[in-house]
Chain A
Amino acid sequence: MSEAPRVAATFTEAEPLLAALRSLREAGIDRLTVYSPVPLHEAEALLPRQDSPIRWYALAAGIAGCVGGFALCIIATRFFGLTVGGKPVVSWLPFCVIGFELTVLIAGLATMGTVFLYSRLYPRSVAEDYDPRFSVDTFGISVQCEDDARGKVADLLREAGADEVRGGAEPAG
């Protein structure tokens, strides 16, 4: 996909980053990515999309797993219809165990699947503006904006206290 050019900045502290975020948001810029070595809940609050749909997927998958677990038990035992230990073919009580386990299993698999999907986790190289220090001790902001806004963004970032700012100085040819 073709992406708009980016302006990137690094911060050694979290507070300037938050300040930069705030000013960027005030400036109406919302296509931005924050990189951080630790989860930054305050930054989340300042970013446009705040909710993750993963729990709904987990819930749906859990319900499906539960229904599927019971269905598996009932269909499979009815297929041969063998009496064991005087218990009826469809014995609800033991099937609850299978239902529960499959609830957890399917919900867990769905959670993992959706987090990979939404966080775009698959073997790939990191983004161009990613700095290896982001996993150590450095925070970063990468802003996607039109060419004409890049100078302004870079300024905003610098004002907020960014250590380095890239992509804002020279206008794209």
Chain B
Amino acid sequence: MSDITVDSREETPHAHHHHPFLQHHFEDLGQQHEASTLGMWVFVAQEILFFGGIFAAYAIYRTMYPEAWSAGAHHQNWFIGAVNTAVLIGSSLTMALAVWAAQTSRRMLTVWMLLATLILGSIFVGVKGYEYYDHIHHGLLPGQSFTYVHAENPALTPGIQLFMVFYFSMTGLHALHMIVGAGLLLWFMYRAWRGDFGPEYYAPVEIMGLYWHFVDIVWIFLFPLLYLSH
């Protein structure tokens, strides 16, 4: 390496590199924060199109088979769904409080709020699992094990199976997003406990919040479409 001339300026740390979480390619924390939030918004736009595809397909089939869709929705327990909706909205509240706590340097409050979000999210996924178990028990899992026959009007049965494909695909993808979110929550709980966040640097918690709220909003659409549209 002796033939390489080294620019002395490259060896000196930049004057503004004082914050430990400022990445080298950003000028300051403000730019880094704006980049992170914009990144998450763009990612959420992508997610909307991802769910948009299946929502569009849902809308088309609902128009084609309104009776089957209504019969399918009757098989959902609206009460469990409503409770789960409340649980999820509660988790959005604790998530928002976690962002506020991180921003205002309330270290342990951030950890507790993230934990509350995680617990509420886990309750939601657990309840969802119970509902799946119940549907499978009643022979409503599409495919080989679909043994259900609609009592009053057997002609509706194929349409109900189609509805159940949507039900499992949509809620399954939603639950998958929740599980990814739960993993992120664990990581940010650790970081909050370590004391990483403060008024200057809380972007990770904030964009975690954006993601979490987005996943909640997806459910806000799924609940009426799958449970209430009789």
A and B are partners in one complex rather than unrelated chains:
no
Chain B interfacial positions (CB closer than 8 Å to A): none
